[in-house]
Each structure stands twice: as structure tokens, then as C-alpha cells.
Chain A
Amino acid sequence: MSGDILVVVEHRDGVILDTTHELLGGAAKLAAAGGGDVVAVLLGSGLAGLAGSLDGASRAIIVDDPGLDAFSPSSYLAALVPLVRERAPDLVLVANSGPGMDVAAGLSAALDLPLAAYVTDITLDGGSPLVTCQLYAGKIQAAVRFEGGRGIATVVAGSFAPTAAGVSPTTETVPAASTDARIRFRGLHRPEAGDVDITREAVLVSVGRGIGEQDNIELVEALAAAVGGAVSSSRPIADSGWLPRTRQVGKSGLKVKPKVYLALGISGAPEHLEGMRGAELIIAVNTDPRAPIFSVAHYGAVADLLDVVPALTARLGG
């Protein structure tokens, strides 16, 4: 693969998202191995100043247009499709986020470029990219190639490490080749500040569907009190309203890095792992020995949390 690797930059509130830095780090490693440049594409209005922090990219294309002052799938695609067609990179990297999914599929359909989704790794094999994709809630992985050796990958957060080369890319600024205002941004909503900021807690006792009934949450709260931590949860628990949304860990929730993360009755779907795989000590309890959580946990037990939790609480003097 001698061609360029194009990375679509995601930013919000004037800050480039961590996922973009991860993509750039991954792209830099690939380019170092295979040749070609890493080209970041930053879409926005008056955001040229952000380009300096795109560590890992040797070049940055800034698409500057008032119609791009906020993310919108229609305006991003209107600008990106002609750009990508013109620049013809070998690989396009996009984060596996809402905006990423919108953009990647649009590019794939418009440009007839294969798209691999839920990518957790990319290597070079015989000069062309070999991607690893995660499917079936993380239970299966597939090693996949693009026909023709060129394609688009939507990458799961946390798959690559950002680079710290400290080199800013050279920039070029272009206008948006076309516009499409059929989707218009109206504003951001942030969650109400909750009672507890789980991103600041040293110990998190986290529950998933294995908790069974809402009444059982109090067992976990007792454990959290005994251990001096806070209760957090996977998405289904927050969706059911059993815990506030501010306790949700994962792709749509919060990213946490506590000293200790107790994953109780959480299967470990990729969206959840994204939020907690950086914890220092992960202990998982689940009745399913094949639960994907065991692949990131440091210690695991195949057991029912409803048996283990009261025993642990009692053992800790709670």
C-alpha cells in the first residue's frame, strides 16, 4: 500500500476528540511500515488553529466553510465525497461513532469503495491492508481484506494508541466542493450533573443485566458502600431507568479509568468495553464462561453475582 491514509477528524466544542488522535496514531504506524502519507481531513469553519495538534498526520487538509461550522452528515458528505474521490487514498479511517457511521457509509456508496466496520486492528499483509473486525457483540472476529486493496474502515475506540511524535502536519486549506444543508445542527445537550461523577471514583462497582431485578441494585449499593466506591452500570440498566444515565459506562456513556472496576453481570459488549478497558484492575463476575468481558478482565469468576456480592459485602465488613 503506497498510497495515502486519510483520517477524517472528529471534533466538538473546538476540541479534537481522543478517537481522532487514536486513528492518527494507528495510521502513522501503518504509513511507517508501508509508505504513503497520513493525511488528516479537518472540516469546519475558522478552525485552522486545531490542525497543529493533529499529531501523526504529515499533512492536513482543512476544509473551511461556514456551512461546516458544526457537524452534519449531509454537509460533511457533500464536502468529503468529491475530496476523497479526487485525492484517491488507499485507506480512509473513520471513528466508529455516530458521525463516523454516517460519513463512512456515505463515502462507500458514493465512491464504490469497500467498507469494513467495527475494526479493532489493521496490519499490512503483502502490501495491502488486513483488517480485524469485531462482530456479534464481540463474540466473533473476522480477518478481512478489501477487494482491490483499497477501502474504508470504521474503527472502534481504543483500538490504537495516539502517537506523541510532537510534529504538526503541513496544512492546505480548501473550500467545500459542495454543500448540502438537508441536515442542520441545532445544538448540543449535555446530561445534568449527577450526584456522583463516576469518572473521578477510584473504585467502581458496575452492574449489567445479570443483576436481574431492580430490587437487587441495593445489594450492589451495599457493596459499593463497603468498598468505598460508587455504583456504575452498563447501558441496559440506564435505559431501564434503574440507575441515572450519569452512571452509565461505555460508548454512549462515560469513559472511566478507576483503580478497580468490578464488572458484575456485564457481558462485555464492545460498546461497554470502550468505556472501561483502561481501568487498572478489572475483576469480572458472570455466569457465562464465554462472556467477552473475560477477555479484558484481569481476574474473573464464573458465578452468579447475586451470590458473590452479598458474600463479598459481608467479607468486607459491610
Chain B
Amino acid sequence: MSKELPVIKVDQVNELEHAVVDGIDISGHWNRMFSQRAISDYPTEAMDWVTSLAGGESLRDCYQCGKCVPVCPVQHVGDYGPRKLNAKVLRGNNLLDDPDLWLCTTCGNCYRVCPKEVDPLRIMPAIREQAVLEGKIPDELSDVFRNLQKSGNPMGESPRKRIDWVAEAGVDVPVISQLGRPVDVLWYVSDYTSYHPRGKDAARAMARVLTALGVDFAILGPEERSDGDSARLAGESGLFELLAEQNIKAFSKYEFQRLVVMDPHAYNAFKNHYPRLGWAGEVLHYTQFLAPLVDDIEFRSSVELDVTYHDPCYLGRNNGEYDAPRRLLQAIPGIRLVEMPHTKSNGYCCGGGGGGMWLDGFVADHVSERLSERRVREAVATVGMDGSGVLSVACPYEPSRFEDAVKSTGNDGRLDVRDIVELIDQAMQPSGS
């Protein structure tokens, strides 16, 4: 990008002592105006560079209408916004050195309202990939990339420990390589569900629900690798492809009718990106899989709770599924479902997407509060004001993010965070257990 900027031309100033139109004096501050100015006074190299990247093309289409401003979750807590990003690039700024490059969570809310379909879900990974290639990447994030590459999960844990949660599931969880036969459902458990303590709670609950429904399922076990979708959105498309190669190799070894996933990010990767890499099977988020079967679930107790549901960006807004999770919640006896103000297609992002899960330290310097904290405060206002409410979630990024936020906003005891499948599992147990 050129550093040789043209000298700012002195604008011609037109001034009238009186502004008279059709005999009427309409004088005002507009008596003094500058001559017209060409927009190409700004160097175009920065915008040309972004739009030359595959995926970066739509940034030029922004015409600064500002519809994205009130819907961007980061704009609510900081100085950042999609429109501002366009303005920066128009004025020749280099985003590679700009912290703003890492604040977008790719929640998609701006894209939803944009009349010109400017798409950060494609622009961000394109620019971020260039940053990664130049080594301009926050350390927090590169540490996770290393872990993903080395161990196939963001924590850097041993792949063998991916099935540690199985021991306490209380039911059989077959690993497909040992089962040695085709299955109906290959259940892709995902990283946080497999390794994080709260994720493991959801994994065990899901295993019990699948067993109670008599589903013919199996898991990949230690062969399972991260979906890598957030790494892709954070600029590591090479890493995404490496992980995809490993997963597709595993998928291709076995016969199954459909892939059921816990994680909306995995859903997004498998449904929208794996076909171009060579795998195009049927993928369902677990709520989509269970919702048609909900009448077959035998509920033995009532779960008397005020519950609100957080639409995960990558299941809801970015992939259009709002109903299945709600059908499940409404089927659980006792649950009183209340919607938050920011709901469904206008859901408020938890901050974990687009690499945000691994940038909390970095982002904290640029926002007044974390997105997850803001969302928790909204949930408390909705269901937590008189005793204990429940924020129900359907994405494995959520339990840890929201539970941390409950503590850090001082709302311990007013809001529990539970995955939908945990609530189903609870209602399947007899009362008092």
C-alpha cells in the first residue's frame, strides 16, 4: 500500500452573503460551502488489496448506510463495527497491524441486515489469512493453532483422552472402529464436549438420551479431529484443510447414514465446507436429530424451571435453525420458556465464534465487557430476577463462556447454564434422582 499520499488539494470555497432562491432569502450556515470533492482523493490501494483476496470482494460494496451498527455485538461494547472497518480501508489503513482485525466474531448479524450483502464471514478469513502468513497474529491464537495441528483439539490434549468421558456415561458408547459394522448415526462429539468438564456432562447426557431412544449410533473416538471451523475463520485455512483431510479420511472408512453433531461450528464446517473438500454426507445438529423423535422420549419427571434459550450464531442465524431447539425445550415437562429481547435471527453473540473463543485476553483490551457477560446480563434480566433461571444452550462453546460470565458479572446463584440435552436427560430421570 502506497505511502505517497497526494497533497490535500485546497478545496475551493464558495461563499454567498445572502442565499437567495426564487426571490426568497434562505440564508443559513450553507452560505459557505466547499466545492465538490472526488472520492478517489483517497488512495485506493488498500481497498483494491482487500477486494483482490478471494472472499474479500464484497467489502467495496458498503455504502456506509449504518444498518450494521446497532446489530453488531462488538459495537455494543466497544469501538469496533463493520461499517468502521470499511471506512478504515477506504482511507488506506492497513488492517494487518490493526487489532480491529481480530474483534469480529463472524456472528453474521451485519450480513443479515446489509442491503449490499457485505459479508465479513468471507472477508475476515481472507484478510486474516494474510495476517497469519505474515506472522501477525495474537499469541493466544497461534498457541491454539499449534495445539490443533499437533493434537487435533484446541487444548493440546492427547487424542486418546478424547473418550475419557465415556467411562462415566452409564451406558455403552461404541467406538465405530471397534464395532466393525455400519451404523445409522455417526455421532461426532467435538472438542469441548469431549474434553471440557461441562462438555463431558452434555456428552454423557446425550449418550443416555440416544440409548433411551434406541438409536443405532457410534462415535469415532480418538480418530475424531477438530472441525477446525473457527480456525478457518481466524485465518488458518491450511489448518482447516489439514483437519478436514484427517476427518474425511476417518469418515470414509466407515458406513453410516448420517452424521449428528453437538457443535454448530462442526455443523457449519461439515455441511457448508466439506463438500468442496470431498465429503458430502447428511449432517444434522443434535437438536435437529432429536426434535422429530421428541414424542418418543419418555419423560419421568417435571423440570420446573424458567428457561431462556440462546441461539448459537452458527446454528441459528448462519444456518437457519431456530425451531428444533425450541421444540425440544417446549416438550420437556415443567419448562417455562421465555425469550430474551435479542432472539432468533437477532440473537446476541457469545463472543466465541471466528476465533473469539481463543482471543478473550486480547479482546478484553478493546471492549468494556465481554460479549458473553453482556448476554448473561440479558439472560438474568429475562429469567433470573427472582431466584434461579436457566440459560439453555446448544453449542459446546457456551457452557464455559457463560458460566465464567455468570461468575464475573456477580450473578452466581441467579442463573444456571445448561445444554438442552442436559435438561432432556434430567427430565428422563425419575423425580428426586
A212 and chain B: residue at smallest CB distance: B361
Interface string of A175-219 (1 = CB under 8 A from B): 000000000000000000000000000000000000001110000
B360 and chain A: residue at smallest CB distance: A213
What's the A-B contact tally at a CB cutoff of 8 Å? 5
Tell me if B364 counts as interface (CB < 8 A to partner A): yes
Nearest CB on B from A136, distance (A): 14
Which chain A residues lie closer than 8 Å to B364 at the CB level?
A: 215
A312 CA to B360 CA, complexed, in Å: 26
Nearest CB on B from A310, distance (A): 9
Mostly, the B contact residues are helix
A215 CA to B360 CA, complexed, in Å: 10
Count of B interface residues, CB-CB < 8 Å: 3
Nearest CB on A from B175, distance (A): 24
Which chain B residues lie closer than 8 Å to A215 at the CB level?
A: 361, 364
A214 CA to B139 CA, complexed, in Å: 13
Which chain B residues lie closer than 8 Å to A213 at the CB level?
A: 360-361
B364 and chain A: residue at smallest CB distance: A215
A85 CA to B79 CA, complexed, in Å: 72
A213 CA to B362 CA, complexed, in Å: 11
Chain B positions 339-364 with a Cβ under 8 Å from a chain A Cβ: 360-361, 364
Which chain B residues lie closer than 8 Å to A214 at the CB level?
A: 361
A214 CA to B364 CA, complexed, in Å: 12
B140 and chain A: residue at smallest CB distance: A213
A214 CA to B360 CA, complexed, in Å: 11
Nearest CB on B from A257, distance (A): 34
Nearest CB on A from B24, distance (A): 64
A212 CA to B6 CA, complexed, in Å: 48
A213 CA to B138 CA, complexed, in Å: 14
A287 and chain B: residue at smallest CB distance: B197
A213 CA to B361 CA, complexed, in Å: 7
Nearest CB on B from A312, distance (A): 16
A214 and chain B: residue at smallest CB distance: B361
B197 and chain A: residue at smallest CB distance: A304
A215 CA to B404 CA, complexed, in Å: 13
Interface string of A201-241 (1 = CB under 8 A from B): 00000000000011100000000000000000000000000
CB<8 Å pairs between A and B, sample of 5: A213-B360, A213-B361, A214-B361, A215-B361, A215-B364
B positions within 8 Å CB-CB of A: 360-361, 364
Top 5 A-B pairs ranked by shortest CB distance?
Answer: A213-B361, A215-B361, A214-B361, A215-B364, A213-B360
